[in-house]
Structure 1
Amino acid sequence: MDVTTSSDTKTSENTPKYNMRPEQAAVTQSSQKSCSPRTIQLLVEKMNNMTLGDTKTSENTPKGNKRPEQAAVTQSIQRSPWSRTIRLPGQKTNDTALSDTNTCENTPKKKESPEDQRETNVWIIGSSYIRRAKGEAKEIFGENFGLNTKVQWFGKRGMRWGGVLPCFYKELSTQSPPDILVIHAGGNDLGLFSAYELSSVIEKELMQLHTEFPSMTIAYSSINERQVWIYGNPGEINKDRETVNASIRKAVDRFDGVIIEHPHIRFFDNSIFLRNGVRFSKKGNELFLTSIRTAIQKSLQSRH
């Protein structure tokens, strides 16, 4: 019996020590005191297997007791260094809206240039048709033709074409040039000059205005029909009128100007004229002004 105890003690001393946890060491010590060497060996092997099993389980088990779908998201985020938003299965986010909001807040607003902020100016220069039309335009369409612009009227009774440029430069001495210049003159020159002479002067001076002020839109209002002409036979004067208008129409195209036609003003329509056969009735003024207003409106749209 003493020999067996001595042998057990030696076996215990020669057995390799393991890096065991406290509970494993306690079991081993207890086993060494109460079990045979064979039993101790079996217990040690069993505990080693348990340790290895625990190690594998801890390596494969997701940290933080996460569900499989959460662990998959975590691994995906770890693999992708560009991921910035964590989206779990079933979770809705408003990333796009937030991104758009941030972009909108951080994007500097486009500053309007002084040209965009400045009010568009329109000058209308002409004979007594323009002088009388000023009040009618306000009554029919409202202030400034009812458009988003500033309209200035420069009409003079009996004005001939020779008075157009002096009127323009006089106003230019006190203010900036207009964005749009409308001219209605030349009818009082018919019969005093040939159609060729008059059209040559008009064409030359319109080109002069364009050269000096290339950003200014020039709108030529065609000479309208009348029932009575002061100088010459009405039939011959009307032919000269058509010749001048056709010539200026071609000239204006060369500098991208505007031609204002008055197709509804016909000399045989008594409702358009007053008794003198020259001045317009209320209906005539409305037709005349509608053509001018339409041309100004189109010019404003083309400038923006």
Structure 2
Amino acid sequence: MAEKALASTTSAQYKTPDEWKGPLRSAWIVGRSFVLRTGRWAEETKESPPFRNTIASWWGYRGLLWADIHDKLADLVAYRDPPEFLIIHLGGNDLVSVGRKNVYEEICASLSGISHTWRDTEIYFSSILPRRKWQGAISYKTVDISRRKLNRGLEKYCLVKCFRFMKHPFITLGDPDVFHKDGTQLLEQGMEYFFREISSTLATRGCK
């Protein structure tokens, strides 16, 4: 099980403008530490488009592994109702330590379990992003190949099980403005790409 690294217990929320009428829906984005930083960036920069008819809460945890996701979700629903939309961005930290096949099985089992428990929640899996560095990896290329295979497998699984698979085509290693020098965290441009992909997805799904 993962080291219990520092975890934020607060969320950054980006609220729907008053001029947008209709029922408000809730969306949780849960995952790595940069998830929370992206939410804070969205809250601080008023240039980014908001989520239509949706209040988004960003929950990011440093060093989070997939084995911890159920405990985190249980903590979140202890004092609030499950959201209409759940986006999970997690799994990259497990690739080196757990291995692709084991991660795949864990993610599939978890998504099915969450769906069974939260029957009114629409579940999205946010694809695992590339990194310039993979901590503990002997070969970067080997891990990146595993990452791509895992994403392809999960995309097929989500299609079969009626979950949503979210891609991030603009976050690439070839863009020098996307990644921090540590090779894993996103710079402001990368956070904007991440935010806009989630925003556009919820704008089309959350306004029904």
Same fold (TM over 0.5): yes
Number of the residue aligned with 2:82: 177
Q: For residues 191 and 200 of structure 1, do their structure 2 counterparts lie closer, same or farther at Cα, with a shift above 3 Å needed?
A: same
Displacement after TM superposition at 1:250 (Å):
1.4
Structure 1: gaps spanning 5 or more residues: 1-116
Q: 2: CA distance between counterparts of 1:142 and 1:266? A: 23
Q: Give 1 or 2: higher helix fraction.
A: 1
Q: Is residue 257 of structure 1 aligned with residue 152 of structure 2? A: no
Structure 2: gaps spanning 5 or more residues: 1-21
Q: 1: CA distance between counterparts of 2:175 and 2:47? A: 27
Q: For residues 208 and 146 of structure 1, do their structure 2 counterparts lie closer, same or farther at Cα, with a shift above 3 Å needed?
A: closer
Following superposition of structure 1 onto structure 2, how do residues 13-92 of structure 1 map, counting pairs within 5 Å?
A: none
Secondary structure, aligned partner of 1:123: strand
Q: 2: CA distance between counterparts of 1:230 and 1:186? A: 14
Number of the residue aligned with 2:7: none
Q: Retained in 2: the 8 A contact 1:122–1:178? A: yes
Q: 2: CA distance between counterparts of 1:146 and 1:298? A: 9
Number of the residue aligned with 2:150: 244
Match of 1:207 among 112, 116, 138: 112
Q: Retained in 2: the 8 A contact 1:227–1:268? A: no
Cα deviation per residue 1:34-83 (whole Å; 9 max; x = unaligned)? xxxxxxxxxxxxxxxxxxxxxxxxxxxxxxxxxxxxxxxxxxxxxxxxxx
Output the amino acid matched with 1:145.
P
Q: Is residue 122 of structure 1 aligned with residue 27 of structure 2? A: yes
Q: 1: CA distance between counterparts of 2:203 and 2:52? A: 7
Q: How many residues align?
A: 187
Secondary structure, aligned partner of 1:205: helix
Displacement after TM superposition at 1:196 (Å):
0.8
Displacement after TM superposition at 1:187 (Å):
0.8
Following superposition of structure 1 onto structure 2, how do residues 284-299 of structure 1 map, counting pairs within 5 Å?
A: 284-299=190-205
Displacement after TM superposition at 1:154 (Å):
1.1
Q: Retained in 1: the 8 A contact 2:23–2:53? A: no
Match of 2:131 among 208, 221, 226: 226
Number of the residue aligned with 1:164: 69
Q: For residues 257 and 140 of structure 1, do their structure 2 counterparts lie closer, same or farther at Cα, with a shift above 3 Å needed?
A: farther
Q: 2: CA distance between counterparts of 1:188 and 1:140? A: 28
TM-score (norm 2): 0.83
Output the amino acid matched with 1:298.
T
TM-score (norm 1): 0.58
Secondary structure, aligned partner of 2:131: coil
Q: Is residue 281 of structure 1 aligned with residue 187 of structure 2? A: yes
Output the amino acid matched with 1:300.
G
Q: 1: CA distance between counterparts of 2:186 and 2:29? A: 18
Q: Retained in 1: the 8 A contact 2:51–2:203? A: no
Q: 2: CA distance between counterparts of 1:298 and 1:241? A: 28
Displacement after TM superposition at 1:145 (Å):
3.0
Displacement after TM superposition at 1:222 (Å):
0.3
Q: Give 1 or 2: higher strand fraction.
A: 2
Number of the residue aligned with 1:6: none
Output the amino acid matched with 2:76.
E
Q: 2: CA distance between counterparts of 1:171 and 1:144? A: 26
